[in-house]
Structure 1
Amino acid sequence: MEILISNWSNVEFVPKTYIFPPESRPGKLEFPVCTDIPLIDLAHNNPDETIQQVIRACHEFGFFQVINHGVSENLMDDTMNIYKEFFKLPGEYKAKFYSNDINKSCKIYSSSLAYDTDEVHYWRDTFTHRCHPLEEHIPSWPDKPTNYREVVSEYSIETRKLFNKILDMICKGLGLEKGYFEGELSKTHLISVNHHIPCPNPSLTLGMPVHSDPNLITMLQQGEVPGLQILKDGQWIGVKHIPHTLIVIPGLQLKVISNDRFMTPVHRVVTHPKEARTTIGVFLGPSPEFLIKPATALIHTESVFRAFAYPEFLEAFVGPAKFDAQLALNHFRSKP
């Protein structure tokens, strides 16, 4: 069987290696939809109120959606269509990018980078590449579809501008000096696109693991097919798709920098029985050498976390913690 699921056709059953243990399966197919995710208008005529909405969302929910964000609807549609076309390309072309090398800057893989040793596979293909600085990474990007580099370059630039705007708002809201998140804290800029083909039995498998985002901050463009779920009050709840909104998720590094003030939600992806699902994730994270620690201005009595380098955190997060955010963070708390 082909490793990349986007090369499969006429799938009639879930292969054994994609079936999760009973305690880890979604089980049911119908989930409640979350109706109270903060929806923030970034063009609101009261900027100070907008900043407070962002800070409240990071404190209380760890998850919000933005409208009037500055990334044009046409660019969002064009980028989504590019990726849908990419996953339909012949397997021979996509195979050029297949890699399990964590250091490769542009790659496609299925399930996870540890495909050959995974006990159970996730129902997905992931295509990811670096975006900053653009001139350094564009040569490694696909040249098909023909306008891939042109469209994705513009999307990378516009989403990075939006990241900077939101991070500036967080700076002001927390009382940090302007530009606190610039430079090494947000040097790593990735696009990671997940593609899930229709699944014959979504109750048996998952499209992505249960996890919290380990990076600084994430932006997600959902397609129209449902699948993203957050864990709220011990219950899995679906995230409704609102056309041309972008979902913003504060990552675990932002939680550390806020000295444990911000939330980082646990989420997962379930599959769909009839329709393919494609989502575009954009991620900012620190450079490998930079030390992450709570911002000095936010330490009023004690620092909740000790300083650490991002690779050290990822090693704990992916290894012993197995994507469990609390287990990973406990390793870096000042008082275990």
Structure 2
Amino acid sequence: MLNGANTYTGITKWNNNSTTIMGNASAFGTSTLNFDAGSPNTIKAGTDLTGANKLTNPVIFGNNPTLKNDLGYNLEFGGAVSLTGTRTLTTNTGTTTFSGSIGETTGGAGLSLARTNDGPGAHTYTGNTTVESGTLTLGSAITLQAATGALIVTGGALATSVAATTVGGHIIFSGGALSLNDNSAGSLTLTAGQNFSMSGGTLTLTLGSSYDQIVSVGSGILGLSGGTITFDTGGAGFSYSSAYQIFSGFGSTSFSSLTLSGYDTTNYLASISSSGQLSFAAAAIPEPSTYAACLGGLSLTWAWRRRKPA
């Protein structure tokens, strides 16, 4: 356990499945903490390292580190966080807070935030989190429930891998992709007063007897002003005669310039009501007389073209 304060600079690097217990916010001086070795490593707090006693070191996360606060203390990273490779941050007890900026280095393949079942705490974001490339996966029901910053998706992908998850900030979706719980039904819930806005990108929703939903606890604004919603109609129990409450609980809604795809567009028309309910209607089929008029028009045009050379 590192209880003393140090004053060195440079890089502090972990490797070989090491376990580190931090008992002092200045244990690593002003060095950059690099959890980007070839094997996963475990990080524990030996005292409450939050607030005025938080770690302020820059951090590099890679190769699936574990934030295992099983000693009953909370942990806050206040420095800038960089992400490399493919990585999953796993926490299991206490509260883990990232109050600095979070960014992905060139060539990163995404971030997954997960939580094991032996603890009730949540990740806490006090600033915005922007997804520009790679994939950010929310891997538990409460991964970002305590978040106060917005989730901003301009590229890459935002995904969930659980049946239900809650976020505490606005979701601003202008590019990239958003999907819920892979190919199974999932729900994404925004806490009270938080908004969901979409001006670009692709939102994929699975439909069936159980289906994907985006839910507001209350008073949030749903604004859909662009982008594409693609429906996966391969879910068990899907029927074009059923209605699907894909958005619910929002205080107000606004729709414009939205593209709906992924369904049988030849025989059906999809629409979303102001309450967020998706329904399908049979596409209009022309009467036989209409077909005859169309065919007659084609024949006359063909005959006129035959006579013109004479």
TM-score normalised by the chain length of structure 1: 0.21
Relative contact order, higher structure (CA 8 A, sep 6+): 1
Could you say which structure has the higher helix fraction?
Answer: 1
> Relative to total residues, which structure has the larger strand share, 1 or 2?
2
TM-score, normalised on structure 2? Answer: 0.22
